[in-house]
Structure formats: C-alpha cells, structure tokens
Structure 1
Amino acid sequence: MAPPYNVGYTAYLVVAWNRLHGLYQRPEEFFRAPYASRVEALYDGVHTGEDLAATLPGTPEELFTPHGLALLRNPSGPLAAALAEHDASCDGLRSPVRLLVDRGDEQVPAASTDHCARRLPWATVVELGTHPYEGSAHLGSNITGTAAALAWFRTLR
C-alpha cells in the first residue's frame, strides 16, 4: 500500500507547526477521531511511511475536522503567520547557498527549489538527477542529496 502522501505530509505540517507555532491546544481541534489520539505520535522520527499508510485515512476530509479543513483552505491566525514566515524562508540569506533538486522526486515538488532560486539568483542549483532507491525517487534523492550536501559542506571549511 502506497503512503497517502498528501494526507501524511499535511498532517506532518500541522503537527510540526503546532509544536512551533501553537496551531491548536488539543489534537481534537484539528484531527477527527480516532486519528486525533494517535496522529502526533506518528511524527516521532521513528515511524515509517508504511506506518503512516497503515494508520492514516486516504483523504484529508477523513483526517481533519471541519475546523481543521477550513483553516487549511483559508489560513488565518497562527497558521497564516507560519505560512508567511515559511514563504519568506529564502529571503535575506547572505551566506553561500546551494539548492539541491531531483525533478523526478514524487514527493517533493521542484517548485520549492525554483521558488528559492528566483529569490536567490546568486545561489547554485544542483540537479541531482533521479536515482530511485527501493522504487522511490524520493528516497533516492534523500541519499544522493545528503551525499552532495556533505561533499559541498566539506569544501566550505
């Protein structure tokens, strides 16, 4: 069973940003039962994509409460502020920047790299190429991207 990427990543964003930005006080505000009692524990750095696929529903409508869906569709309050902060994450950087991209990655859109490249015209964009690992371009890009980043960091000493 393939992981429900849109559901899994959206839940990940909500859980992580709640920890950083206080999006909700109780998971039940954003997540429907029975997921509210287990969704935060899925993002502990130990659970796999398979764990997500086995636990999460297939659609956002099944996972999120009407309130949660409404905020995701029309952000306001802490979520809107967090999105604005994230949108500006490429602005104002003055240190050397290298953007790594695998345009074949099925989970991370290359548009994120393209967005930052437009805001940082002096940054170097490195096309990783697609090297699937265990059938996933995303897992392959994680491996090749990590190796490329480490090699570049070593040149900055």
Structure 2
Amino acid sequence: MDSSTFLSPVIALIIWSLLIWAVLYLRRIPAMQAAKIAPDTAKSPNGDWKSKLPLKVEAAAHNYNHLMEQPTIFYAFMFWAAITGAATAMILYLAWAYVGLRVLHSFIQVSTGPVMVRFGVFSVSTLCLIGMVILALLN
C-alpha cells in the first residue's frame, strides 16, 4: 500500500483539527468582545474570564484541546506503520473509522450534545485505535 493512501486519514484529521481551531476563534473572539473581556485579562487559560463565556463558546475550545490529545497517538502510530511496513488495508479502514468517529465526537461536543453519547463515541474511537495497534503487532 502506498504511503500517501495510507496516511490520508492523518491529513483528514489534521484538516478537521484546523477547522475546529477556526470555530473556536470564530466563537470566542465575538463572545469575549460581547462580555467586554480584554485580551490582556485572559492571560491564564484557567482564569475567571472563562466563566463569563457561554458553554457553546468554550465547547469548541475543549474540543480543540481533545483533538490535540489522543490523536497524537494516532498520528505517531500511522507514521510508524507507514515507515515500518505494518500498514494494512484493515488498519487503514480502522484509521478512517477513527477519524470519522473523532469528527462525530467534535460535532457532539461543539453542539454541547449529551456527554454520555460523546463518551460512547470517544470510547468506540479508542477501541479502533487499540485495534489498529493490535493488528500491527500481530503482523
């Protein structure tokens, strides 16, 4: 399998992460202006300024942070699999499932959907990631 095909889920998740970054600031900047929060007072990521912003605004920020966490394992694994020759069609299918589930997770979170539904989607995406690793180890 050629590496550009195998790594296409990686670029898809990177593009998705950048779109969520844009949503974060498209929501946060106007909300900060409306709440009269001066950028200089928002120096600490855990400052009291965040309590002045609606959940919908902060949900995009939380989701962006989530896209910087577990997907780093996905990225590292995908490049490892491509470099070592562990790339298989089944791993590619699971990679696309992982990306699709992460996108669904984002939609649920940025729309402030039910936490337990979001957790379920996150859990299934994690199982996809675990499955990818197990398949690579068994090859």
Normalising by structure 2, what TM-score? 0.28
Per the normalisation by structure 1, the TM-score is 0.26
Higher strand share: 1
**Structure 1 or 2: more helix by fraction:** 2
Looking at both structures, which has the greater relative contact order when contacts are Cα pairs under 8 Å and sequence separation is at least 6?
A: 2
